[in-house]
């Protein structure tokens, strides 16, 4: 038994040694393979002796495009401080110049970050977009752009565009979300249709600010369209299209841990948001903060619209807080058409929202159809509404005791019956049930001396 144990121990040791040796050999082989294929190319806007393959700073390329054209997939292109406003070329089959066309899976990275290194497109005087415009950058699948300011890019007008790529993405146009943009500032760009700042791509740690769509035939996404964004800010972008959809901030995007603020013509449209802040956006139509979007764990505050849904319009919300939003029409916090959303979500808190019409916190409709609607775990605190845009206000407490009355209503203990006129019912923790058959103009007590009431539901008889 002793010899057998020793043999087994020796065998285990031998296998361990062989496994370690094989692992080291494999690791070395991978390292050699990578070093054989990956190269570093250098770019300096002030280079005075550019010599391909731009293998060191003394022979660095003067334009980023020259280095990209000399690179192979997997290479790193290192760019030092400067304003890169020359060079570039169109995508094959296109006529729009890209200041930097990254048409292969390489990484273009600045040495000292976006404050020191910028890519500058060109905007046509007077029209901004047009046949002589230049986009900031185009990224193919697998390409990476890291640490740049991309500014003053533009696209062709829709009437000039030969390819769909020619009128999307004035700052950066990506082939798909498989192109990566990191630690970049995308600012003061324009386009004709979608995504003045960026179209498609996956962004991380970026700022997308002060981009604008100003053509009547445009559709949306002053900042970004059809992109994925994480840990980024979308601020003070502008959309003026009259034939398209509202989205000065993000259109058709997926956003996580982002701040969308100060955009003129809605914050987000047709987007998915998780753990984001949507603040101080404005709109003249509907949905100051969000339109036709899904929001989870978001804070939506200070948004305004002259239409419906100051915080969110026709959107689905889960575990969100909506505070101090304003609508000139119905739904200071949320306006929801059940026919479009099926349900407005659950577990939301609405505080201090104001409507110039009906529904200071929440206004729900079904295109004129009656319905027994239920909202699950919504809390309403100090929201208010007026029917004439704020010209006059009135208390809505007729029928309640004038003094010595303290009511507490739990979040599921208020409901409507969907009739015309609309009936409202609420139950109190003191065991009373109150009803209004005139849309809240007055209330009457219909039951008393019950146990604490947790939920009220109206059912047709």
pLDDT per position as a tens digit, 387-426: 655 555 566 678 888 777 777 888 678 888 877 777 889 9
pLDDT on residue 193:
86
Q: Which two tokens stand for residue 438?
A: 């005139």
Q: Tokens 């609607």 map to which residue? A: 373
Report the alpha-carbon distance of residue 404 to residue 401 in Å, rounded: 7
pLDDT reading at 52 higher than 60 = yes
Q: Tokens 């080291």 map to which residue? A: 24
Whether residue 249 contacts residue 256, with contact meaning beta carbons closer than 8 Å, is answered with no
- Share above pLDDT 90 across residues of the chain, in percent, rounded to a whole number: 62
Average pLDDT of the chain is 85
Report the alpha-carbon distance of residue 427 to residue 432 in Å, rounded: 6
Beta bridge partners of 436: 424
Beta bridge partners of 274: 256, 296
**345-346/97-102 β-pairing:** unpaired
pLDDT reading at 254 higher than 80 = yes
Beta bridge partners of 90: 97
pLDDT on residue 248:
86
Whether residue 303 contacts residue 278, with contact meaning beta carbons closer than 8 Å, is answered with yes
Least confident window among 58-67, 98-107, 220-229, 235-244? 235-244
Q: Return the SS3 of 398.
A: strand
| pLDDT, average across residues 313-331 | 95
Report the alpha-carbon distance of residue 350 to residue 405 in Å, rounded: 24
The DSSP result for 248-294, as a single string, is SSEES-EEES-EEES-BS-SEES-EEES-EEES-EESSB-SSEES-E
pLDDT reading at 20 higher than 50 = no
Report the alpha-carbon distance of residue 255 to residue 253 in Å, rounded: 6
- The Cα angle at residue 42 between residues 41 and 44, in degrees rounded to 5: 155
More confident call, 440 vs 179: 179
pLDDT reading at 329 higher than 70 = yes
pLDDT on residue 370:
45
Q: Which two tokens stand for residue 69?
A: 């054209």
Q: What's the CA dihedral at 290, 291, 295, 300 to 10 degrees?
A: 20
Report the alpha-carbon distance of residue 196 to residue 227 in Å, rounded: 12
| pLDDT, average across residues 363-381 | 71
| pLDDT, average across residues 238-257 | 81
Q: Which two tokens stand for residue 358?
A: 């009906």
Element (H, E) at 36: helix 2-37
Report the alpha-carbon distance of residue 234 to residue 150 in Å, rounded: 14
Report the alpha-carbon distance of residue 176 to residue 148 in Å, rounded: 20
Omega before residue 171 within 30° of 0, cis: no
pLDDT on residue 398:
81
Strand order in the sheet with 444-447: 414-416, 424-427, 433-436, 444-447
pLDDT reading at 79 higher than 90 = yes
Residue 124 DSSP one-character state = B
Report the alpha-carbon distance of residue 456 to residue 448 in Å, rounded: 14
pLDDT on residue 242:
58
Of the candidates 318, 326, 340, which has an alpha carbon nearest to the alpha carbon of residue 288?
326
Least confident window among 76-90, 101-115, 367-381, 413-427? 367-381
pLDDT reading at 367 higher than 60 = no
pLDDT on residue 392:
54
pLDDT on residue 5:
35
Q: Return the SS3 of 151.
A: strand
pLDDT on residue 9:
35
End-to-end CA distance of the chain: 86
More confident call, 446 vs 2: 446
Q: In the structure, what pLDDT confidence band is assigned to residue 220 with cuts at 50, 70 and 90?
A: confident
Q: Return the SS3 of 24.
A: helix
Q: In the structure, what pLDDT confidence band is assigned to residue 96 with cuts at 50, 70 and 90?
A: very high
Q: In the structure, what pLDDT confidence band is assigned to residue 57 with cuts at 50, 70 and 90?
A: very high
């Amino acid at each position: 038994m002793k010899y057998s144990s020793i043999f087994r121990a020796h065998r285990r040791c031998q296998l361990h040694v062989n496994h370690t040796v094989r692992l080291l050999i494999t690791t070395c082989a991978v390292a050699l393979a990578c070093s054989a294929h990956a190269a570093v190319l250098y770019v300096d806007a002030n280079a005075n002796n550019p010599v391909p393959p731009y293998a060191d700073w003394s022979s660095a390329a003067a334009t980023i495009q020259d280095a990209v054209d000399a690179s192979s997939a997997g290479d790193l292109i290192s760019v030092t401080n400067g304003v890169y406003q020359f060079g570039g070329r169109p995508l094959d089959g296109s006529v729009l110049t890209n200041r930097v066309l990254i048409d292969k899976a390489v990484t273009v990275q600045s040495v000292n970050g976006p404050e020191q290194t910028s890519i500058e497109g060109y905007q046509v005087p007077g029209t901004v977009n047009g046949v002589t415009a230049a986009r900031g950058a185009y990224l193919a699948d697998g390409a990476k752009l890291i640490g740049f300011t991309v500014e003053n890019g533009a696209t062709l007008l829709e009437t000039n565009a030969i390819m769909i790529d020619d009128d999307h993405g004035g700052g950066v146009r990506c082939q798909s979300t498989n192109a990566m943009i990191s630690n970049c500032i995308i600012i003061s760009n324009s386009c004709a249709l979608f995504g003045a700042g960026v179209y498609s791509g996956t962004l991380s740690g970026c700022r997308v600010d002060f981009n604008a769509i100003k053509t009547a035939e445009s559709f949306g996404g002053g900042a970004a369209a059809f992109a994925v964004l994480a840990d980024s800010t979308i601020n003070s972008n502008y959309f003026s299209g009259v034939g398209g959809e509202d989205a000065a901030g993000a259109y058709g995007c997926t956003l996580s841990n982002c701040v969308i603020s100060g955009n003129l013509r809605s914050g987000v449209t047709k987007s998915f948001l998780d753990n984001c802040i949507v603040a101080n956006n404005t709109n003249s139509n509907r949905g100051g903060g969000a339109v036709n979007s899904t929001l989870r764990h978001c804070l939506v505050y200070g948004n305004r619209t002259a239409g419906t849904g100051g915080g969110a319009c026709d959107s689905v919300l889960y575990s969100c807080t909506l505070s101090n939003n304003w609508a000139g029409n119905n739904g200071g916090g949320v306006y929801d058409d059940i026919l479009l959303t099926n349900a407005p979500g659950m577990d939301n808190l609405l505080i201090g929202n104001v409507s110039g019409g009906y529904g200071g916190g929440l206004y729900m409709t079904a295109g004129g159809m009656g319905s027994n609607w239920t909202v699950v775990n919504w809390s309403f605190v100090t929201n208010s509404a007026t029917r004439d845009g704020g010209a006059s206000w009135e208390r809505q407490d007729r029928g309640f005791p004038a003094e010595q009355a303290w009511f507490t209503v739990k979040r599921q203990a208020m409901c409507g019956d969907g009739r015309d006129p609309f009936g409202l019912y609420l139950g109190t923790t003191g065991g009373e049930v109150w009803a209004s058959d005139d849309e809240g103009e007055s209330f009457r007590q219909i039951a008393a001396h019950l146990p604490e009431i947790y939920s009220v539901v109206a059912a047709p008889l």
